[in-house]
């Protein structure tokens, strides 16, 4: 991969973390006339998605993604568990640092299963303080000199009508600049560091996870032993079926508990990564803003909440301005 291709890969990751949708990234790449890894001018959504999920860009390698099923015809097949796969960390020089790669995966999970429109920096960021719904972008007087872009609650005129008013782009931008300039960055960073330390204190959850894993392993061994004994020594079938169901049910319940505690630990880890990036972005940001900064807005703001009384900026550490 040459330097230009590497810069394109970095741009894709950056655009995604700046809130662009896969389609939005496609449009930007084609506007800039940048080539795909296969030297094509037209980008497919599947290509961009593959780039955002490919571990090779952070220097790792997953071996045996495919395997040869017929050595005479050289026919290959995607490995769906037929043969072992091996994950190798730090296999080669990375293009994307591991933290950026991980943040993209967290953002992908966050967007998964929800309607996401990455058409502008405010898309999916504005929520209604009254009903919790997202605000949608509307254009008033699109064909005359009074053209104006506003954001309004998507449920304002559907079902139970929402009484929250609309806001303009300029109002959101002005509120962000005002909120940013009033931030006590030193105090915020100190508070976020404390939150981060609390999240990293996961000894209780880790001990519970280990306990559940040990119980699950013991249960699975008993289950396999029961199956093996039944295959070599004839047993009362009703008795065997009852023992099997009891062990299988117990194994399923333990697995459910294990999945829950693992999800809690993953969520804590993801939040730590987001907060670390938030701290770094805050440290590197300007002391004062004279105008709206799109990159800084997306880096620092979790969402914009619109109440009857006005606009509230919710930062990525959960605090409000």
| Residue 234 pLDDT exceeds 70 | no
For 201-256, the DSSP string reads: --HHHHHHHHHHHHHHHHHHHHHHHHHHHHHHS---HHHHHHHHHHHHHHHHHHHH
Task: Pull the structure tokens for residue 268.
Answer: 């804590």
Domain boundary among 93, 116, 136: 93
Q: In the structure, what pLDDT confidence band is assigned to residue 20 with cuts at 50, 70 and 90? A: confident
Considering 39-43, 79-83, 106-110, 316-320, the range whose residues carry the highest mean pLDDT is 39-43
pLDDT of the residue at 159:
65
More confident residue, 74 or 3: 3
Average of pLDDT values for 102-121? 76
Give a yes or no: residue 140 inside a domain: no
| Residue 92 pLDDT exceeds 80 | no
Q: In the structure, what pLDDT confidence band is assigned to residue 144 with cuts at 50, 70 and 90? A: confident
Q: In the structure, what pLDDT confidence band is assigned to residue 214 with cuts at 50, 70 and 90? A: very high
CB 46 within 8 A of CB 10: no
pLDDT of the residue at 218:
93
Average of pLDDT values for 277-282? 88
Q: How far does the chain reach from its first CA to its final CA, in angstroms? A: 45
Which residues have C-beta within 8 Å of that of residue 140, sequence separation ≥ 6? Answer: 146, 147, 148, 149, 150
Q: Note whether 189 and 71 are same-domain residues.
A: no
Q: Note whether 227 and 279 are same-domain residues.
A: yes
Give a yes or no: residue 26 inside a domain: yes
Task: Pull the structure tokens for residue 92.
Answer: 């080669």
Q: Note whether 212 and 103 are same-domain residues.
A: no
Instruction: Give the span between the Cα atoms of 136 and 119, in whole angstroms.
Output: 11
Residue 140's Cβ-side half-sphere holds a number of Cα atoms within 13 Å equal to 10
By 3-state DSSP, what share of the chain in percent is helix, strand and coil, each rounded to 5? 50, 15, 35
pLDDT of the residue at 118:
58
Mean pLDDT computed over every residue of the chain: 85
Domain boundary among 68, 93, 118: 93
**Tell me: the pLDDT tens digits for 25-76?**
999 999 999 999 899 999 999 999 999 998 888 887 776 677 676 666 767 7
Q: Note whether 43 and 80 are same-domain residues.
A: no
Q: Note whether 292 and 173 are same-domain residues.
A: yes
Q: In the structure, what pLDDT confidence band is assigned to residue 259 with cuts at 50, 70 and 90? A: very high
Average of pLDDT values for 131-139? 85
| Residue 113 pLDDT exceeds 70 | no
pTM for the full predicted model: 0.67
Q: In the structure, what pLDDT confidence band is assigned to residue 286 with cuts at 50, 70 and 90? A: confident
| Residue 200 pLDDT exceeds 80 | yes
Query: What is the domain count for the chain?
Result: 3
Domain boundary among 93, 118, 149: 93
Q: In the structure, what pLDDT confidence band is assigned to residue 191 with cuts at 50, 70 and 90? A: confident
Instruction: Give the span between the Cα atoms of 146 and 140, in whole angstroms.
Output: 8
Instruction: Give the span between the Cα atoms of 243 and 234, in whole angstroms.
Output: 14
Q: Note whether 27 and 70 are same-domain residues.
A: no
Instruction: Give the span between the Cα atoms of 76 and 66, in whole angstroms.
Output: 6
Give a yes or no: residue 295 inside a domain: yes
| Residue 136 pLDDT exceeds 80 | yes
| Residue 124 pLDDT exceeds 90 | no
Instruction: Give the span between the Cα atoms of 177 and 296, in whole angstroms.
Output: 10
Q: Note whether 199 and 274 are same-domain residues.
A: yes
Q: In the structure, what pLDDT confidence band is assigned to residue 173 with cuts at 50, 70 and 90? A: very high
Q: Note whether 200 and 267 are same-domain residues.
A: yes
């Amino acid at each position: 991969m040459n330097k230009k291709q590497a810069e394109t890969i970095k741009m894709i990751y950056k655009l995604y973390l700046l809130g662009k949708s896969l389609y939005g990234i496609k449009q930007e790449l084609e506007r800039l006339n940048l080539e795909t890894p296969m030297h094509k001018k037209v980008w497919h959504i599947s290509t961009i998605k593959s780039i955002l999920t490919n571990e090779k860009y952070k220097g790792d390698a997953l071996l045996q993604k495919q395997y040869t099923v017929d050595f005479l015809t050289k026919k290959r097949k995607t490995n769906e568990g037929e043969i072992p796969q091996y994950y190798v960390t730090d296999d080669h020089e990375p293009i994307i640092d591991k933290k950026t790669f991980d943040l993209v995966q967290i953002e992908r999970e966050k967007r998964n299963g929800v309607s996401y429109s990455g058409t502008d920096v405010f898309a999916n960021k504005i929520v209604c303080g009254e009903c919790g719904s997202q605000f949608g972008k509307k254009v008033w007087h699109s064909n005359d000199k009074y053209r104006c872009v506003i954001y309004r609650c998507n449920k304002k005129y559907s079902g139970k009508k929402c009484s929250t008013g609309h806001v303009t782009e300029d109002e959101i931008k002005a509120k962000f600049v005002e909120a940013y300039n009033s931030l006590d960055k030193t105090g915020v960073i100190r508070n976020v560091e404390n939150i981060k330390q609390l999240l990293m204190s996961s000894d209780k959850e880790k001990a519970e996870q280990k306990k559940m894993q040990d119980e699950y392993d013991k249960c699975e061994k008993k289950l396999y032993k029961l199956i093996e004994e039944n295959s070599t020594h004839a047993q009362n079938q009703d008795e065997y079926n009852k023992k099997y169901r009891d062990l299988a049910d117990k194994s399923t319940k333990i697995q459910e508990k294990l999945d829950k505690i693992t999800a809690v630990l993953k969520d804590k880890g993801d939040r730590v990564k987001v907060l670390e990036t938030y701290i770094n972005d805050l440290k590197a940001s300007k002391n004062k803003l004279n105008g709206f900064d799109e990159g800084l807005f997306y880096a620092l703001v979790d969402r914009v909440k619109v109440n009857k009384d006005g606009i509230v900026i919710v930062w990525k550490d959960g605090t409000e301005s």
